[in-house]
């Protein structure tokens, strides 16, 4: 049925942007649930929608060509392109947008968009743990749940959302926690925002941190973000990675420290030297949850707290922060706002 005919029936018009990933992948056969990437076969947005004809009863789907790549290939250039694409879609398809994405970097794209979108368009990111071709794939029902979530009036004003496994998560808070399990996306500190049960979309809480639109982060005319690297903390870390990142031109550094926000002495000295040299240094942890306390030791070394952001999300916020300020106190305020 044509999109125009479905729209006449009162169904919401949903723009579906396909960026590739497992949800777009086709394995060798129905039992190929791990090595499907070797085939190189991926569906474009229209092919994904064609594989889920049940969507015709949920929304008037509009496929939007973008690209079909593994999510490790997605970064700033794609985020900037998606920001521009969502702005254009807001004029042509004013209801909402769903973005299909590989799960490896889905949480990073979701958080980047939640900070940089320029229009108040409901955006939901969705992926899957098993390819579209797999026996018992989660791709199809995940997509239906994402479209239902995007179409729900209660979803407006909540920022960018992530939907997999019948659960609705906030872009800022969610993280991938398992290689292959279907319940991989979780919010360790606070739990889900809501759930999708059949055609029922139910919310139980709201994320309190600020989100786009209206943030100070405008990436539309940028060619790149300031370089920000992550130094992973471990026993005997001696600062070699920190010094290498400085030599490579890093303007910011995120330490994935030992919980609750510490690093070995050699790493601490390297981070302190980086902060003294004008590089903005932020302490996160490798623990995966919890707020890094701004201890006396961190203050004395000129190191900021990432709040409860994971290292990969702290990197995104720090890079965006450096597009508007390099003043540590101002950066610290952004970490308590977003």
Catalytic positions: 22
- DSSP per position, 81-103: HHHHHHHHHHHHS-SEEEEE--S
Instruction: Name the phi and psi angles at 80, rounded to 5.
Output: -60, -45
Q: Single out the residue of 172, 139, 108, 189 nearest to residue 30, CA to CA.
A: 139
Contact 150, 143 (CB under 8 A): no
Say whether 209 sits in a helix, a strand or coil: coil
Instruction: Name the phi and psi angles at 3, rounded to 5.
Output: -60, -40
Beta-carbon contacts of residue 115 (< 8 Å; ≥ 6 apart): 211, 212, 215, 217, 316, 317, 320, 338
Beta-bridge partners for 197:
200
Say whether 216 sits in a helix, a strand or coil: coil
Beta-carbon contacts of residue 198 (< 8 Å; ≥ 6 apart): none
**Residue 324, token pair as written in the block:** 């508007």
For residue 233, CA distances in Å to 288, 310, 315 come to 13, 13, 15
Q: Dihedral angle at the C-alpha atoms of 259, 264, 269, 274, nearest 10 degrees?
A: -50
Contact 125, 161 (CB under 8 A): yes
Helix (H) or strand (E) holding 28: none
The H-assigned helical ranges of the chain are 3-8, 45-50, 76-92, 106-116, 139-151, 240-247, 265-276, 296-300, 311-321, 328-337
For residue 155, CA distances in Å to 15, 18, 21, 201, 280 come to 16, 21, 25, 9, 35
């Amino acid at each position: 049925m044509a999109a125009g005919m479905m729209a006449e029936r009162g169904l919401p018009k949903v723009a579906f942007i396909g960026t590739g990933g497992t949800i777009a992948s086709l394995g060798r056969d129905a039992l190929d649930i791990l090595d499907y990437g070797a085939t190189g076969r991926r569906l474009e947005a229209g092919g994904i929608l064609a594989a889920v004809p049940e969507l015709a009863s949920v929304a008037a789907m509009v496929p939007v060509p973008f690209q079909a790549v593994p999510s490790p290939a997605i970064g700033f250039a794609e985020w900037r392109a998606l920001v521009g694409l969502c702005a254009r879609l807001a004029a042509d398809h004013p209801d909402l947008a769903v973005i299909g994405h590989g799960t490896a970097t889905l949480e990073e794209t979701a958080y980047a968009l939640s900070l940089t979108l320029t229009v108040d368009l409901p955006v939901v990111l969705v992926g899957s743990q098993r390819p579209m071709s797999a026996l018992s794939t989660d791709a199809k029902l995940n997509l239906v749940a994402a479209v239902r979530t995007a179409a729900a009036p209660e979803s407006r004003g909540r920022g960018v959302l992530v939907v997999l496994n019948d659960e609705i998560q906030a872009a800022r808070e969610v993280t991938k926690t398992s290689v292959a399990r279907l319940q991989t996306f979780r919010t360790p500190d606070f739990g889900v925002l809501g759930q999708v049960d059949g055609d029922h979309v139910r919310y139980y809480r709201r994320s309190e941190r600020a989100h786009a639109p209206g943030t100070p982060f405008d990436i539309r005319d940028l060619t790149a973000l300031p370089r920000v690297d992550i130094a992973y903390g471990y026993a005997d870390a001696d600062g070699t990675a920190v010094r290498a990142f400085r030599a490579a031109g890093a303007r910011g550094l995120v330490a994935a420290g030992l919980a609750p926000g510490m690093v070995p002495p050699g790493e601490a000295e390297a981070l302190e030297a980086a902060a003294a040299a004008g590089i903005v240094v932020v302490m996160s942890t490798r623990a995966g949850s919890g707020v890094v306390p701004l201890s006396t030791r961190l203050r004395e070394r000129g190191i900021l707290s990432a709040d409860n952001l994971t290292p990969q999300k702290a990197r995104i916020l720090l890079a965006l922060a450096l597009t508007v300020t390099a003043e540590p106190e101002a950066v610290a305020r952004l970490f308590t706002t977003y």
